[in-house]
Structure 1
Amino acid sequence: MRAAVLYGQQDLRLETIADPTPGPGEVIIAVQAATTCGTDLKVWRRGGHARMLTPPILFGHEAAGEIVALGPGVSGWQLGQRVVANNSAPCRDCFYCHRHEYSLCQNLEFNNGTYAEYLKIPARIVAQNLLAIPDQLATPIAAMTEPLACVLHGVARCGFSPDQVRSWPQPPQILVIGDGAIGLMFVGVLAQQGARVILAGGSASRLEIGQTFGATTILNHRQTPDLPTVIRELTSGLGADIVIEATGVPSVWETAIACTRPGGTVNLFGGCPRDTQITVNTEQLHYGELTLKGVFHNTPFYVRQALKVLSENSIPWSKLITQTAPLSELEATFQAMLNRQVIKVAIDPRA
């Protein structure tokens, strides 16, 4: 089969390798749509990932397709069935799993290799995070289950809930910094749950999508040199109740903290380069009683919730997929992502 293999920093090669065969409990799917994402772009640029992969390795982690082979002991699945698989599964038996903190699992098993004609799903993921795609849901949209699961996990970790919308004098004011696919997903989910969402980003077309997804205010950072001051002006001089950082840039993490009101929460969602550091104003942190949260990945619960949300089709998720491209154009696709010419691209290995 044809597959993309990451060898290092911006060193991605299309190779012909043996078709995978399923072992006990495993499933093989023919990939019909592998969606690109900001994480893959960062991994391609940096040449690796702190937890998810070490080159050389098969590349890509968002995909949906059709079951073509079942390993010994697999039951409840059929050949030809459309499925989506999360790219990980917890062990369920470590310190964190016993406390239901599955994203922190000490033995979290990752699976890469979606930019290929076929993808082997490990037994642990088959058991916990392989899901049937509803008939009405398009395969490329279903492939976005993994990033949306991360977003839903992130929303929950903010402490935000629809109960706040009902109990507070006004809806929570939430700032999302970053107009990539993840930032836009946050906007859609939060707006649907009743929050007043401010979106800050650098692309006029993406900010327009943010408005379509429910953002009440959009700010182009190229025209907003002092974002914390503008946010205070928009929030009666206080700052946002919750700020979600979705860029993975250390300086923007600091900006996110500066945009938060006393008593507010900062969700540091975007993963920064390894070993980077930020500076925090201790007076603001202490006397302002800020909550800073690092949020990583997802859990089996949110994987299921994500597929359900996508299936409800109450948000125009297709606006996040700029185009479809064959596997042979994967390198060019990452260049286009680097230049912010596309948001997500559905790679079709069959083309």
Structure 2
Amino acid sequence: MRAVVARDGVVGVEVVDDPLPGPGQVLVEPLACGICGSDMHLVSTQAEMPDLVPPIILGHEFVGRILDNGPGGRGRFPVGSVVTSVPYLDTADGPQLIGLSPLASGGLSEQMVLQDRRLLPVPEAMIADHAALAEPLAVGAHAVAEAQMDTDDVALVIGCGPVGLAVIATLKAAGHGPVVAADFSPSRRSVAERIGADVVVDPGHHSPYRRWTELAGRELPSSPLLESDRRAHTVLFECVGLPGILAEVMNSVHAHTRIVVVGVCTEPDTVTPMIANVKELSLRFVFAYRPEEFARALDWIADGTIDVAPFITGVRTLEDAAKSFTDLRARERHCKILLKPGGEG
């Protein structure tokens, strides 16, 4: 079969062996699969350490059609069913991340193996491609759940890439508002507005913190010596994941702000803890999602609570993989590119 393989930091289409499902697994034909920031991080790491990161068939944001069951199994869903799943596959070495492990081939391929017990059915009335967005949307659902927001809280989302947009969409689906969003990219600001952000700010021209704190109300005293029975209503989601962003956020926010760090910074970074001490800031680092949050994200897409169509800025074939990775690194035009093994649709 054809598959998108990351090898020595280079992305390309190769002909590889067809995967074979084991007991409790199903063989699936991917219908669409998104390219994620994690994929790009993996390729960059592989380029830096080619001897340590083996070749990997990429793709963990997928939707597919069941082709067959593993030996001795009938499966929970009939052959031909359209399904998605959290990207984990059971192996002899334990659960492996699909598309991010050499032991679990991903959805940027003509065939893949999924765990039957983890499958979620995609409703017939739902656009199948949209189910591939359940995975990144679940990241936003988890971040918002971990923020433990009150109804009066005002959120600021820094960064409107796929993760930031997932946070915005989840905030609106959960009934939170107003939501302030900030990004340097005009195209990403436009998508943020389309999915429900109440205030969209270009940080190159205006401070995203000013309007946000105006909406949240008067700043509370930082010192606990100055008693106050009020709770700060400023909650910030950092969805960029680059060095220096967290320090800037800590310097800029009001006292008692809760900061939810969703962006994954893969490089060493520096912050000044005393700033967080004096302001009594709360930092919550989050990663991925729980299975029930993935299922909830799929339900939101299926019932129309969240329209994920604005997320998708390109639908291409597997042969366009290398160009798509290059385009996504530019950040200006694209948000989420889906690759379809069977061609565009």
Pairwise TM-score range, normalised by the shorter structure: 0.7 to 0.9
Q: Do the aligned residues in 2 keep the contact of 1:33 with 1:140 (CA within 8 Å)?
A: yes
8 A contact 1:89–1:300 mirrored in 2:
no
Distance in 1 (CA, whole Å) between partners of 2:261 and 2:57 is: 28
The size of the alignment, in residue pairs, is 319
Q: Which residue of 2 aligns with 1:102?
A: none
Q: How does 1:26-41 map to 2 (within 5 A)?
A: 26-41=25-40
Shift of 1:288: 2.5
Name the counterpart of 1:190. Answer: 171
Q: Secondary structure at the match of 1:65?
A: strand
Q: Please, which of 126, 146, 168 is the counterpart of residue 135 of structure 2?
A: 146
Matched, 1:265 2:264: no
Name the residue aligned to 2:155.
Answer: 174
- Per the TM alignment, residue 137 of structure 1 is displaced from its structure 2 partner at its CA by 1.2
Distance 1:257 1:230 in 2: 17
TM-score, length of structure 1 as denominator length: 0.84
Cα pair distance change 1:153/1:321, threshold 3 Å: same
- In 2, distance between residues paired with 1:108 and 1:178? 31
Do structure 1's residue 60 and structure 2's residue 59 form an aligned pair? yes
Distance 1:48 1:248, change over 3 A: farther
2:340 equivalent in structure 1:
348
1:88 matched to 2:88? yes
Per-residue deviation at 1:301? 1.1
Q: 1:132 aligns with which of 87, 99, 121?
A: 121
Which one of the candidate residues 308, 313, 316 is aligned to 2:304? 313
1: distance between equivalents of 2:37 and 2:233?
25
For the pair 1:246 / 2:235, whether they are aligned, the reply is no
Question: Structure 1 vs Structure 2: percent identity of aligned residues?
Answer: 26
Q: Is the 8 A contact 2:313 2:334 kept in 1?
A: yes
Rate the CA distance shift 1:263–1:110 in 2: closer, same or farther, 3 A: same
Q: Offset at 1:210?
A: 1.2
User: 1:205 and 1:227 mapped to 2: Cα distance?
Assistant: 17
CA contact (8 A) 1:33 1:64 kept: yes
Shift, 1:263, TM fit = 2.2
What is the rounded CA distance, in whole Å, between the counterparts of 2:186 and 2:281 in structure 1? 31
Q: Which residue of 2 aligns with 1:298?
A: 289
Which residue type is aligned with residue 87 of structure 1? P
Task: Report the TM-score when normalising by structure 2.
Answer: 0.85
Task: In structure 1, give the amino acid aligned to 2:205.
Answer: Q
Corresponding residue to 2:110 among 117, 127, 131: 117
* 2:181 corresponds to: 199
CA deviation profile, 1:214-252 (whole Å, cap 9, x unmatched): 21211112223x555565456456396111011111211
SS of the equivalent of 2:255 reads: strand
Tell me: CA distance 1:229–1:47, structure 2 relative to 1, closer, same or farther (3 Å).
farther
Instruction: Letter of the 1:348 partner, please give it.
Output: K
1:19/1:37 CA distance change after superposition, 3 Å: same
Q: Distance in 1 between matches of 2:133 and 2:233?
A: 28
TM-superposition CA deviations, 1:280-324 (whole Å, max 9, x none): 341x32233221111011111111111111112133210110121
Residues 124-174 of structure 1, C-alpha deviation per residue, up to 9 Å, x if partnerless?
Answer: xx32x31000112111110111111121111111112xxx21xxxxx3111
Aligned mates of 2:110, 2:159 — CA distance in 1: 32
Deviations 1:166-224 (A, max 9, x none): xxxxx311110111111112112112322211101011222122122221211112223
Secondary structure of the corresponding residue to residue 257 of structure 2 = strand
Q: Which runs of 5+ in 2 are unaligned?
A: 100-105, 220-231
Partner of 2:326: 335
Seen in structure 2, the aligned counterparts of structure 1 residues 70 and 48 have a Cα distance that, compared at 3 Å, is: farther
**Residue 307 to residue 49, structure 1, CA distance change in 2 (3 Å):** farther
What is the CA RMSD across the aligned residues, in angstroms? Answer: 2.5
Q: 125, 141, 148: which one pairs with 1:159?
A: 148
Task: Give me the whole-angstrom Cα distance separating, in 2, the residues matched to 1:119 and 1:259.
Answer: 46
Cα 1:133–1:335 shift into 2, 3 Å: same
- When residues 179 and 332 of structure 1 are mapped into structure 2, their CA distance, relative to the original with a 3 A threshold, is same
* Distance (whole Å) between structure 2 residues aligned to residue 312 and residue 41 of structure 1: 31
The answer (yes or no) to whether the contact 2:137–2:170 under 8 Å persists in 1 is: no
Report how far residue 48 of structure 1 moved: 7.7
SS, match of residue 60 in structure 2: coil
